[in-house]
Structure 1
């Protein structure tokens, strides 16, 4: 068996040579002077060689430890050389699969499900709050303290809700990485309770009585706005629908209304397309999510009046610039 002294004194010669240790382990000395530990073994009836590492970076003791590891693999019927190649590939994949790379892949998979506004909010929050700190690190090497340190930076600005939202998005990225075999766990899932709790939101102003609603409507009617604006406000009060849907409302969305008469239309309906509703992008294209709004006689009366003003165009409440644009 080799000694540390013999290994240290191994110098280059006119040609390559080796110094044997035990059980196939030897020190290979190249004529260039480079020294490396190698292991000769047999697998599947063939003689094979495995480079364990360079000397002096890998000491004699460490080389013997690696030899023992290789012998254990052989006892299990596994090829140490093949296992070493697989480990090298895994290390390379880990280095290339940084948090930012995985996060952008996750975002590309999810983007179509979201509205453009929400999608921009998601990716911009990661670009601003996460990528500058850990975007370049292999996702498999990230742990709870690292993730928490990123979120603490957000907390220090007083942006508590943002910290919680970013944590949720980071967790989704880790789940994607786990599914693809790029990470073993989700550290973002653990740190949620370590964050400051989201403060209770203040109650938004709301009208909760009929009397107050009457006052607001009378004040709205008294405002010096255009007739079309007042009609739109009146229609909103009568239907309690989202203003975005009312603003984009087209004449073709109404059913069972007699536009030429002034009689009652008990089956009058407003057929709101799903793409005008607050839904995920994939649901906006599904007619099953269209919304039907029964219209009271007062709402029908508002529409009949409005049709005299804008009925020649497609939009019920068009912009001042174009009759074809909401």
Structure 2
């Protein structure tokens, strides 16, 4: 029951109540029962969403107070539900994949049904109707269908999601140009929360392009937007980017300050993604044994084949390879099956 409730995005108690009602009264009993909350009207839903978009640091209690002042009566649970549906609230599931997790939500049967409908119209080349349906969905799970709809038909949020799916596949200068354009448009519309994601994506692109000096204004802008935000996952990502940049600029004293902040936040972020990235920071300091501890810890808990392959490569390189244990090193490299062959060839060359 708990697993099914998690997939549906509701509490297990709510699901249990629905099942009991269905057993007693059938479908009509479930639909008519007063204990099941009515959906918040769409216009009010959008106002609740905009509050969080415009003020990322806003708490549920303060949001309720602001809504009460303009005559809108919504419970704290109702506000939380809207923010969750729009992907504006972080939860345990969202903390597992870094900044992309702040954009996409977990798939539910209802979302899957809507995406199937979108696919039908895409197959008919009726992109306008497909875009109309997908644009009206509050937040999406990661879905390749977005890439099949021309950008001109998509909202800014959908264009940002589409761009994330293209990350690593299009040249970084082109990616940077697109994400900067979307960021400016979002800022002009007051969508600050979504623009925070674009800032992180800009930092990533500039890092790959080694345009380190250009990251300074991005950091300044991002820090202002994050002021007052309580989300520890976002702050970890911010300090990670700051520490990485300081290392590249050889500002090691400053880098150590941010690495320490990451370590403090790590206690409240017990997920493979953060263990791996903290391990990466330790390698910048030459702390390979400590990094190996976090890589192994992440490897034991991770389930994604692509990430497991990446971790296997890091364990082989920073662990067994540096210790001269080449038999274990080669054995670990065989587990890195999802990493591009060129990288594996380079790693094998080092071992041989």
Q: Same fold (TM over 0.5)?
A: no
Scaled by the length of structure 2, what TM-score is found?
0.22
**Which one has a bigger Cα radius of gyration?**
1
More strand by share: 1
More helix by share: 2
Which structure is richer in relative contact order (CA contacts within 8 A, separation 6 or more)?
2
